[in-house]
Amino acid sequence: MQKFSYHTHTDFSDGSNTLEQMLQQAVALGWQEIGVSDHLIIHKNITQSISYQNMVARAHSNMYHSDFKKALPLFNKRAEIFRKTAKNYPLKVYLGYEVDYFTYDGWQEEFKDFINHLDYDYLITGNHFFTNPEGTEIIDISQFKKNPEQRTKDSLENYLRRHYQSIASAVESGLFVFLAHLDYARKIPDHQNFPMLDERLKIVDSLHRCNIACEISTKGLRKIGDFFPENNILQELVKQKVPLVISDDAHKTSELGYAFDEAEKALKEAGCAIRYHLK
Ligand SMILES: [Zn+2]
Ligand SMILES: [Zn+2]
């Protein structure tokens, strides 16, 4: 069974536990490695996100930033503390980030410049927002149904299509080692009316062509009773020989390694022979 996770969060972003507590638990589970991938979400209009106030109220949260230049020293300071802390634990600890990839004018250039100056070991991509091409709208997918007062200017179908298209762009940028929760948007109840199978299969095709890995996330089991991605996409990923990795997307110590036995079973049933591993 896979005995590591590269998709985990601490209280640096929206996790409940400290880095120390997460590493302690990883050691207790007998893991020899772990990757910590706190959120890296930088968007010029992030203050408009419905979750913004809640997130910035957390004492340790570096969840949301609107300015790359202001964020850089905070992330590098964090890296310094991270690497010192990691040395105290008997396992290999990778410093990663889960990046929301945006496509409005100028974002990609700023992001590339930012990571050129950032201390990190790996990046994964996971998109959590609906946006418009100009980046003037930023809508939390997780809050989409709960908050009807969150005004939207476009149809769900258009938001979903753009969402899947930006995920494909993120994959094609070649900046990320694997894609997180490919069809996280399935948590929206109306998703079934707009399954966007063609757009999701295009993402699989991008992963295949760019030789980028994909996760099977047990967070889906906790949130919607099914893995991200769903089984038909998983089968397509296997068919296209996309390397796969199991993730727990742990936001607290008790979620580390969550239902990895079930994920192993699903991978076996899908005939997965190529697994992803950080070098
Ligand atoms: Zn995520
Ligand atoms: Zn995550």
- In terms of pLDDT, which residue wins out, 51 or 264? 264
3-state DSSP assignment of residue 4: coil
pLDDT, position 151: 64
Residue 189: pLDDT band with limits 50, 70, 90: confident
Domain ranges of the chain: 19-270
* CA of residue 149 to ligand 1 center, whole Å: 24
3-state DSSP assignment of residue 42: strand
Torsion angle defined by CA atoms of residues 200, 42, 122 and 113, in that order, rounded to the nearest 10 degrees: 110
The predicted model gives 145-174 an average pLDDT of 87
Task: Kindly report, residue by residue over 231-257, the tens digit of the pLDDT.
Answer: 999 999 999 999 999 999 999 999 999
pLDDT, position 184: 95
Task: Kindly report, residue by residue over 33-50, the tens digit of the pLDDT.
Answer: 999 999 999 999 999 998
What ligand has the least distance to the C-alpha of 7? 2
* CA of residue 270 to ligand 1 center, whole Å: 24
pLDDT, position 150: 64
pLDDT surpasses 90 at 74: yes
Please report, rounded to a whole number, the percentage of residues in the chain having pLDDT higher than 90.
86
pLDDT, position 101: 98
* CA of residue 132 to ligand 1 center, whole Å: 20
What ligand has the least distance to the C-alpha of 247? 2
Residue 279: pLDDT band with limits 50, 70, 90: confident
pLDDT, position 143: 83
Task: Kindly report, residue by residue over 75-98, the tens digit of the pLDDT.
Answer: 999 999 999 999 999 999 999 999
pLDDT surpasses 70 at 149: no
Q: Within its chain, how far is the Cα of 110 from the centroid?
A: 20
CB atoms within 10 A of CB 137: 17
pLDDT, position 152: 74
* CA of residue 74 to ligand 2 center, whole Å: 20
* CA of residue 142 to ligand 2 center, whole Å: 12
What ligand has the least distance to the C-alpha of 9? 2
The DSSP bridge partners found for residue 217 are 228, 247
- Where are any strands of DSSP class E within the chain? 33-42, 64-65, 92-99, 122-125, 129-131, 138-140, 178-179, 213-217, 244-247
pLDDT, position 93: 98
pLDDT, position 154: 85
Cα diameter, the chain: 51
The predicted model gives 266-279 an average pLDDT of 96
* CA of residue 247 to ligand 2 center, whole Å: 9
Mean pLDDT of the chain: 95
* CA of residue 268 to ligand 1 center, whole Å: 24
Residue 147: pLDDT band with limits 50, 70, 90: low
Residue 148: pLDDT band with limits 50, 70, 90: low
| CA-only gyration radius of the chain, Å | 18
* CA of residue 40 to ligand 2 center, whole Å: 10
pLDDT, position 142: 87
Q: Name the CATH superfamily for 19-270.
A: Metal-dependent hydrolases (3.20.20.140)
pLDDT surpasses 90 at 220: yes
Q: Which pTM does this prediction carry?
A: 0.97
Residue 204: pLDDT band with limits 50, 70, 90: very high
